[in-house]
């Protein structure tokens, strides 16, 4: 009923707004953007996987928000009794499929047989990241199940080699690279010990309104009105499929958008909708 009322209003051109929903993320390590750091030889590097973030506490698999993921019992029974952090992943270009699979309240075994848990951290573990990366390799080998893997880490000697690897990954259908300080102890929260490197920048915002479409988008979504963490409100009017315009993210949903730098007023330049971030549920 609420969705029907919402679209009745939207279809006659009435914008719908609401206060933002506050979502508390679990205390995990979050990346900042790569900004031309020259000391790339001090980092271990991996491909940035476009999957669903999942934290395993030794007993329960959860979204970053803390909400449990309804994974099959056979999938979680084989995981080690220690904290892991990683991505549930089906392969490059499969985000929508893995997102749908992990959102189901009743897991579909056929879908989960295609999912791999690709770990990239050991939350709370002592030592440097280089130490933890070596431990992850041993943990995966000991578990010896086909759905648990560590994300392969590698190193480069300079920025030219780093940019070459980024081009190779993107041309092959990947999203980008992650750079983790090899000498860093484990920390939670957003930190520059972990950097993400992509051809564009991305960020997250909360949907606070829907703007009605016009012309060929009449009766559908024209733009999402979103609020960034710093309080700035702006519209995302591009990046949507027709299906997304017909059934857009609900108010209070956290979405990811891409952009290229900022305007003089501090707003993201060329901001475009990328996807719903489903791990905030």
Last residue of a domain, one of 160, 176, 197: 197
pLDDT value at residue 200: 81
- Whether residue 2 is predicted with pLDDT greater than 50 in this model: the reply is no
How high is the pLDDT of residue 40? Answer: 94
Residue 221 has pLDDT above 70, yes or no: yes
Antiparallel, parallel or unpaired: β 201-212 and 43-48: unpaired
How far is it, in rounded angstroms, from Cα 67 to Cα 48? Answer: 23
Domain membership flag for residue 166: yes
For residues 252 and 20, the answer to whether their CB atoms sit within 8 Å is: yes
Residue 40 lies in a domain: yes
Please give the helix or strand (H or E) that residue 163 lies within, else none.
Answer: helix 159-171
| 143 and 272 inside one domain | no
Q: What is the SS3 assignment for 227?
A: strand
The average confidence (pLDDT) of the chain is 89
Please check whether residue 228 lies inside any domain of the structure. Answer: yes
Report d(CA 74, CA 261) in Å as an integer: 45
Mark whether 254 and 220 lie in a shared domain.
Answer: yes
Q: What percent of the chain has pLDDT over 70?
A: 89
Using the predicted structure, report yes or no on whether residue 233 has a pLDDT greater than 70.
yes
Instruction: List, for residues 8-29, the tens digit of each pLDDT value.
Output: 555 455 454 444 444 444 579 9
Instruction: With beta carbons less than 8 A apart as the criterion, state whether 228 and 265 touch.
Output: no
> What number of other Cβ atoms are within 10 A of residue 211's Cβ?
20
Specify the CATH number for the domain of residue 256. Answer: 2.40.50.140
Half-sphere exposure of 281 (CA within 13 A, CB side): 20
Question: In terms of domains, do 150 and 43 share one?
Answer: yes
Between CA 147 and CA 150, with CA 149 as vertex, the angle to 5 degrees is: 160
User: In this structure, is residue 18 part of a structural domain?
Assistant: yes
Q: Which of 91, 95, 89, 75 is nearest to 120 (CA)?
A: 89
Report d(CA 203, CA 258) in Å as an integer. Answer: 7
How far is 208 from 205, CA to CA, in rounded Å? 9
Q: Which residue has the tokens 């305007």?
A: 263
Q: Look at residues 162, 197, 232 and tell me which one is the last residue of a structural domain.
A: 197
User: Are residues 167 and 247 located together in one domain of the fold?
Assistant: no
Taking residues 88-105, report their average pLDDT: 93
Over residues 181-202, the pLDDT tens digits come to 999 999 999 999 999 998 888 8
Q: Specify if 71 maps to a domain.
A: yes
- Could you tell me if 45 and 183 lie in one domain? yes
- What pLDDT score does 269 carry? 84
Does any domain span residue 172? yes
pLDDT in tens, 138-183: 999 999 999 999 999 999 999 999 999 999 998 898 989 999 999 9
Domain assignment present for 76:
yes
CATH number at residue 164: 3.30.470.30
| 170 close to 199: Cβ distance less than 8 angstroms | yes
Whether residues 177 and 269 fall in one domain:
no
Same domain, 205 and 149: no
Token pair for residue 71?
A: 């994974």
User: What is the C-alpha to C-alpha distance for residues 35 and 30, in angstroms, rounded to an integer?
Assistant: 16
Summarised one tens digit per residue, pLDDT across range 126-135 is 999 999 999 9
Percent of the chain past pLDDT 90, that is, above it, reads: 74
Query: Which residue segment(s) compose the domain that 210 sits in?
Result: 2-23+200-280
Residues 48 and 146 in one domain: yes
- 174, 197, 220 - which closes a domain: 197
On whether residue 28 sits in a domain, the answer given is no
The pTM (predicted TM-score) of the whole model is 0.72
Q: What is the DSSP string of 15-84?
A: -EE-PPPP-PPPS-EEEEE----S-GGGEEEEEE--SEEEEE-SS-EE-TTSPBP---HHHHHTS-SS-E
Q: Is residue 166 domain-shared with residue 90, that is, in the same domain?
A: yes
Predicted confidence at residue 180, as pLDDT, reads: 98
| Total domains present in the chain | 2
pLDDT digits (tens, 9 = 90+) for 112-125: 999 999 999 999 99
Place of tokens 């973030």: 53
- pLDDT higher than threshold 90 for residue 5: no
Rg (Cα) of the chain, in Å, rounded? 20
- Please compute the mean of the pLDDT values over residues 51-59 and round it to a whole number: 95
Using the predicted structure, report yes or no on whether residue 228 has a pLDDT greater than 60: yes
Domain identity same for 193 and 209: no
Give dist(CA 235, CA 226) in Å, integer: 6
Regarding whether 270 and 188 lie in a shared domain, the answer is no
13 and 66 together in one domain? no
Nearest residue to 63 (alpha-carbon basis) of 90, 91, 99: 99
């Amino acid at each position: 009923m609420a969705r029907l009322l919402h679209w009745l209003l939207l279809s006659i051109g009435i914008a719908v707004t609401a206060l933002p929903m506050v979502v508390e993320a679990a205390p995990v390590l979050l990346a900042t953007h790569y900004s031309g750091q020259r000391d790339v030889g001090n980092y271990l590097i991996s491909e940035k996987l476009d999957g669903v973030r999942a934290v395993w506490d030794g007993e329960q698999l959860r979204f970053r928000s803390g909400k449990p993921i309804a994974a099959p019992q056979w999938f979680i029974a084989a995981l080690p009794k220690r904290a892991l952090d990683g991505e549930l992943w089906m392969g490059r270009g499969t985000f929508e499929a893995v997102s749908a699979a992990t959102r189901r309240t009743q897991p579909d075994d056929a879908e989960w047989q295609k999912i791999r848990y690709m770990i990239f951290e050991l939350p709370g573990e002592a030592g440097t990241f280089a130490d933890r990366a070596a431990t992850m390799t041993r943990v995966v080998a000991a578990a010896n199940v086909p759905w648990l893997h560590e994300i392969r880490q590698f190193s480069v000697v300079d920025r030219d080699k780093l940019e070459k690897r980024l081009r190779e990954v993107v041309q092959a259908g990947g999203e980008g690279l992650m750079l983790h300080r090899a000498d860093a102890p484990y920390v939670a929260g957003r930190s520059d010990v972990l950097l993400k490197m992509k051809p564009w920048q991305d960020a997250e915002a909360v949907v606070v309104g829907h703007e009605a479409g016009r012309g060929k988008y009449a009766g559908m979504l024209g733009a999402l009105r979103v609020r960034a963490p710093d309080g700035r409100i702006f519209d995302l009017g591009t990046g949507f499929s027709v299906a997304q315009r017909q059934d857009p993210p609900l108010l209070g949903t956290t979405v990811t958008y891409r952009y290229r730098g900022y305007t003089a007023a501090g707003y993201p330049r060329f901001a475009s909708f990328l996807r719903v971030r489903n791990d905030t549920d």
